[in-house]
Amino acid sequence: MKSVFRDYIDGIHAMLPLLPGAVPFGMIAGAVAAEAGFGPAAGIGQSVIIYAGTAQLAATQLVAEAAPALVVVLTGLVVNLRFAMYSASLAPHFIGLSFRRRALLAYLMTDQSYALTILRHGADETVTAITKARFYLGGAIAMWVVWLGATATGFMLGSRIPPSWSLDFFVPLSFLALLVPGIRDRATAIAAITGAIVAVAASGLVFNLGLFAGAACGIAAGYIVEARRGKKDDIR
Amino acid sequence: MSVTTLWLSIVAIGVGTFVLRLSFIGLSGRLALPVAVTRALRFVPAAVLSAIILPAALRLPEGGLDVSIDNPRLIACVVAAGIAWATKSVLATLIVGMGTLWLLQALL
């Protein structure tokens, strides 16, 4: 029993330094939802139903711009495609667990819970699936509680702040804060620059298709740059 | 957007996101992503985020885009990008970026 407890505590402990970063992000997600005219149920409920900050902010931004629902949904899902990648990476570690437990692990997946579990247990074959799952859950539940509290707080504060404060500007800013540290090589830098330029150039397109055009061209550009560099390395 | 459409959109994103998260974990390692797809997925965050950031920074309240270099939002974004790069801190990026916008709006 004691070691069960310790696995969870271990997970919470590893997550602690990452929680303060989620607080302003969650508060902004709540505040901009309030400004975009979401009611309290939708504004806070999306944190439970979607539970993904980038998707929530992107969707809120598009709702505020009066984009069609299909564009809102597709954008939300495109920014969450990375979860399929995390899922593929985590899957071998959770083999043998019940489907209900794996569904719970999946629902609570975040960038942070994925990264912590892979960094801690990814290379260790002696650790059992259940221990990894408890470690993951401890941190993931802590993140869920903090996220919900932060968005609810942000929502309540946000609805009282006048529009002249340009609170909506927090959305591109928080995306910048996520984007910039993630640019670690030339290929991701070119993906980002291409995405931005194409999105602006194509911003006149109907249904916000400029966003998808930018994303698609950015991904393609990054892929090509990386593939070419790979070939050069082969030649050397 | 009507309240019903808003809720339907939220639920659709929620269900779709859960399916994406569950995908491979749910299949319990019976399927793996092709290497080419994994490589392409690596560029999704950078490409999508920047495709949202720049148009949002240039967008005028009355519609259309302001591509002039004295656009306060654009200047604030450039300053914030520098802070994000130098500090890797979400909080510092938000504070400096928002502060720059407020300052420019007060001055211009």
Cα distance between residue B15 and residue B33, in whole Å: 21
Complex prediction ipTM? 0.82
Q: Give percent of chain A with pLDDT exceeding 70.
A: 95
pTM above 0.90, yes or no: no
B-chain residue closest to A24, CA distance: B91
The residues pairing with A196 across neighbouring beta strands, listed in sequence order, are none
List pLDDT tens digits, range A196-229. Answer: 999 999 887 766 678 889 989 999 999 999 999 8
The residues pairing with B65 across neighbouring beta strands, listed in sequence order, are B59
Taking the CA atoms of chain B, what radius of gyration do you get in angstroms? 19
The nearest CA of chain B is from the CA of A206 a distance in Å of 13
Q: Select from A20, A24, A199 the Cβ nearest to the Cβ of B55.
A: A199
Test B53 with A179 for CB contact under 8 angstroms: yes
pLDDT the model gives residue A233: 59
Give every CB contact of residue A233 below 8 A, 6+ residues apart in sequence. none
Confidence label for A192 from pLDDT (cuts 50, 70 and 90): very high
List pLDDT tens digits, range B2-18. Answer: 899 999 999 999 999 99
Average pLDDT, chain A: 88
pLDDT the model gives residue A31: 92
List pLDDT tens digits, range A51-81. Answer: 999 899 999 988 988 889 999 999 999 888 8
Could you tell me where the DSSP H helices lie in chain A?
2-15, 19-35, 40-49, 53-64, 69-79, 82-90, 99-107, 111-121, 129-158, 170-182, 186-201, 209-235
Measure Cα distances from A226 to A86, A185, A193, A230, B19 in Å. Answer: 21, 9, 15, 6, 29
List pLDDT tens digits, range B24-64. Answer: 999 876 777 788 887 887 888 788 889 888 988 887 766 67
pLDDT the model gives residue A134: 96
Q: Which residues of A touch B64 (CB under 8 A)?
A: none
Could you tell me where the DSSP H helices lie in B28-89?
35-41, 44-58, 72-87
CB B51 within 8 A of CB A214: yes
pLDDT the model gives residue A236: 44
Test A78 with B44 for CB contact under 8 angstroms: yes
> For residue B65, which phi and psi values (nearest 5 degrees)?
-115, 140
Q: Is the pLDDT of residue A234 over 60?
A: no
Domain boundaries, chain A: 2-160, 183-236
The more confident residue out of B19 and A184 is B19
CB A88 within 8 A of CB B23: yes
pLDDT the model gives residue B34: 80
Cα distance between residue A51 and residue B81, in whole Å: 26
pLDDT the model gives residue A72: 94
Structure-block tokens of residue A193 = 């620059």
B 17-76 residues with CB < 8 A to A: 17-18, 20-29, 32-33, 38-59, 65, 67, 73, 76
Burial group, residue A164, by CB count within 10 angstroms (0-12, 13-18, 19+): exposed
Q: Give percent of chain B with pLDDT exceeding 90.
A: 48
List pLDDT tens digits, range A109-153. Answer: 998 898 888 878 877 778 899 999 999 999 999 999 999 999 999
Q: Select from B12, B13, B56 the Cβ nearest to the Cβ of A171.
A: B56
> Within 10 A of B50 (CB to CB), how many other CB atoms are there?
29
Structure-block tokens of residue A222 = 């990054």
Q: Give percent of chain B with pLDDT exceeding 70.
A: 96
pLDDT the model gives residue A156: 94
Test B27 with A91 for CB contact under 8 angstroms: yes
